[in-house]
Structures are given as structure tokens and as C-alpha cells.
Structure 1
Amino acid sequence: MGRGGDQRRTHASDVELGSAVSLAQQGDEDAFATAYRLVHPGLLGYLRGLVGDDAEDVASDAWLEIARDLRRFRGDGAGFRGWTATIARHRALDHLRRQKRRPQTSLLELDVLELPARGDTVDSVLESMSTQWALRQIVGLPPDQAEAVLLRVVVGLDGPATARVLGKRAGAVRTAAYRGLKRLAEQLTSGSRAESAAPAASGTLRDET
């Protein structure tokens, strides 16, 4: 039920985004600001997973290109998210080539707001990620899994759009995302168990003293 609610909110946001993009293409600066507000946080989170502390600079370059080519974009709100993610990824890879290093998801800097009480299924992990729970766990994933999860969860793309951004087959991306979410489910379960065990252990020590 919670997951369905997340999907409805995402859909409503994409409707607003599509309208804003359409107006921005006609020169409406306020509409472009709305599109930026709706897209930038997820785009910046994705870039932090690729280039770490340089994410703000890369995002600026990406938005310059987005603004320059905006009139050439064709599609709806969801399509705009995918289009901007593709541009951001290209700018990130250009940046990394200049720096002569590979994407490093270990540089991800997203706040953990809280851990879910239970995280023993892939669906519960996806729901948690949609509400910004435990995103820091992504740093421990293999790069292909981490990027697939970032695009699905942080940027908000669906499976086919994620595959287009990465230039890979949809099946391969779906598998990478599934494996990443499954690993996160295991990590979150372990973390929840550790959290629940800590007070009991502390109480035992106090009793012994």
C-alpha cells in the first residue's frame, strides 16, 4: 500500500514536471525553475554517487547543456527525467575521464533519515528507498548495481528508462537493480537486528556493574 502511494506521488510529480517543461520550452523562466526544482535533487544525488564532491560542478555543466538543448527535447515528465539523467551521466563520465578515474559509488553522500524496522524483502527496500531511508547502504554495492539502484530510486526512473541511460539491455539492468536491492535488504535486516540487540546488551552491562 505504501509502495502504491509512492508510485502515485511520483506520477503526480511527473505530470507537474511535464507541464513545466512544456512551458519552459516556450520561454517561461518560472516554469524552468519548477522543472529544476523537481529534477535537481535526484540528479545531484545520482552525480554524488559518480563523482563525489565534484557533483555540484558537474551538475552545473549538465544544467547548462539541458537549458541550451531544452527546445529539442520531446517527451513527458518521466521522459525529461531520463533525458536529464543521460546528459548528467555523460558530463560525469567526461569529468572522470579528465580526472583519469572511474565512477566511485563509495563517494555517495546522502543522509540517512532513519532505518526501517524490517527490511527483509526487496519490495520493502524499494519502498524505503523511495522515502529516502538508508540510502547510504548503496555505497557498498558493486558499481553496476549501485548505478542501477541510484537511477531507479534516487532519480526515479523506471526500468526501461534506466536501461536507456546506461546504454544496456533492459534485462541486464533489471538484474543489476534486483541484485542490488536484494543485497540492501540483507544489509538492512542485519542493521535492524543489530539496533534492536544494542539496548539489551547495554542493559546487561549495567546490571553487571
Structure 2
Amino acid sequence: MDAAGLDAAVAAAREGDGAAFGRLWQELSPRVAGYLRWHGVADVEDVTSEVFLAVFRQIGRISGEGAAFRALVFTVAHRRQVDWHRQRTRRGPWLTLDDAGPDPSVPSAESTALALLAQTHVLEVLDTLTPDQRSVLVLRVVADLTLEETAAVLGKDLGAVKSLQHRGLAGLRRKLSPGPYPSDVLARLNPRHA
């Protein structure tokens, strides 16, 4: 959905249009779920639903266009994931239905193992970042927020968000390609390095 479509859907939802609520859910819920998943929330579907329920209850009082609405959604998502982690530390380990036992409708062991390996590698790489760097990158990449929206969600100034993004990307670059660039690559990028 482009910016104009998001603006129109927010305006229609403010007027009580049920289909507009559905369009907003379809557009933003996968990104919210991704944001929550990258922050280790085990109950992603439930927390995503809580985020949208909280936002939709207040939609009549929300001012601004689609970008402001999207920033509000991720502000609520950020607060919910912080609350989820606080509750988890107070209550102890969280047991999901996946951990409770075998399910006859699960995918093959091979596809499960490959998916877990890929996810584990990505999580290991992200774990090398500071929590603030990880939050900035996930909001920028998964949630597709602008720098200004990310700063608003995290309650940080724009310069701090830019710095966190730069440091986070540099850290990921070092982790994913630890060796120096081959000289032929540098030569193509800038003949002075040849």
C-alpha cells in the first residue's frame, strides 16, 4: 500500500469503515509480527492482536496521516514487547504450544531444521549488536519506518538513531564478511585502491 492508500485507509477507519480496519491490519500486522519476533516475543500473534486492538480503540482520537498512524502502531508494539519481556522475567520461562509436544501436522524434519538454522544464524548475528542498534535496524528494515518515525518510537533524537543505525550496519558488515575485501572488488569500486 502506498502512502496515499495508507492515508485513505486511516481516514476511512477513523470514520468507522470496517474494511479500512482490515486493510490497515493486512498492511501492518506482518511488519509488527516481524518486529516482535526479532525481539524474541514468543506469543507473536497474541501480542500483535493486542497492539492493533489498542490502536483501533483509539482511532477516533488519532490525528495525522498514514505515516503518523504507522509510527503510532510501532510505538505501541515497542511498548508491548518491553512489557512482554518484563512479564517474562517476573514469571520465568515461557512455554509455547510448539514446546508442549509433537503436532501431527508439522512440516518435515528437514525443512524445520533448515528454517531453524537460518533463523538461528540471523538471531546470532543480530545478538552481536546492542539492544538499541538491533531495535533501530529492525524498525528501519522490518517495519519500514523512516528515521524520524524510528526516533519517535524509541524516544530518541534523530542524531542518535542515525548513529545507532550506522554502527549497527557496520557491526553486521563486519560479522557477515569478517575478511578484507578482495583487491579486485576495491579496484572496481575505486581505482585508487588497486
Tell me, yes or no, if structure 1 residue 19 matches structure 2 residue 34. no
How many angstroms apart in 1 are the aligned matches of 2:135 and 2:69? 19
Q: Structure 2 matches for 1:52-201, cutoff 5 A? A: 52-100=41-89, 137-190=125-178
Root-mean-square deviation over aligned CA pairs: 2.5
Cα distance change of structure 1 residues 86 and 151 upon mapping to structure 2, 3 Å threshold: same
**Any runs of at least 4 consecutive aligned residues in structure 1 with deviations exceeding 6 A, and if so which?**
none
Counterpart amino acid of residue 153 in structure 1: V
How many angstroms apart in 1 are the aligned matches of 2:158 and 2:81? 22
Relative to the length of structure 2, the TM-score reads: 0.70
Query: For each residue in 1:96-139, what CA deviation from the matched residue of structure 2 results, as whole angstroms up to 9, or x when unmatched?
Result: 222227xxxxxxxxx99xxxxxxxxxxxxxxxxxxxxx965434
Cα distance change of structure 1 residues 145 and 76 upon mapping to structure 2, 3 Å threshold: same
Relative to the length of structure 1, the TM-score reads: 0.65
Cα distance change of structure 1 residues 189 and 14 upon mapping to structure 2, 3 Å threshold: farther
How many angstroms apart in 2 are the aligned matches of 1:57 and 1:20? 23
Cα distance change of structure 1 residues 60 and 158 upon mapping to structure 2, 3 Å threshold: same
Deviation at 1:91, TM superposition (A): 1.6
Identity, % of aligned pairs? 37
Query: For each residue in 1:11-70, what CA deviation from the matched residue of structure 2 results, as whole angstroms up to 9, or x when unmatched?
Result: x62221111111111111111111111111111111112233222221111111011011
Deviation at 1:164, TM superposition (A): 1.0
- Please give the secondary structure, in 1, of the residue aligned with 2:145: coil
The answer on whether the counterparts of 2:41 and 2:85 sit within 8 Å (CA) in structure 1 is no
| Unpaired segments ≥5 residues, structure 1 | 1-11, 102-110, 113-133, 194-209
> Higher helix share goes to which structure?
1
The answer on whether the counterparts of 1:13 and 1:38 sit within 8 Å (CA) in structure 2 is no
Pick from 33, 46, 50 the counterpart of residue 44 of structure 1: 33
Q: From the CA coordinates, give the structure whose radius of gyration is larger.
A: 2
How many angstroms apart in 1 are the aligned matches of 2:122 and 2:25? 22
How many angstroms apart in 2 are the aligned matches of 1:187 and 1:157? 24
How many angstroms apart in 2 are the aligned matches of 1:164 and 1:89? 11
How many angstroms apart in 1 are the aligned matches of 2:127 and 2:26? 25
Counterpart amino acid of residue 80 in structure 2: R
| Unpaired segments ≥5 residues, structure 2 | 91-113, 116-120, 182-194
The answer on whether the counterparts of 1:82 and 1:165 sit within 8 Å (CA) in structure 2 is yes
Counterpart amino acid of residue 140 in structure 1: T
How many angstroms apart in 2 are the aligned matches of 1:61 and 1:149? 23
- Please give the secondary structure, in 1, of the residue aligned with 2:132: helix
Counterpart amino acid of residue 141 in structure 2: V
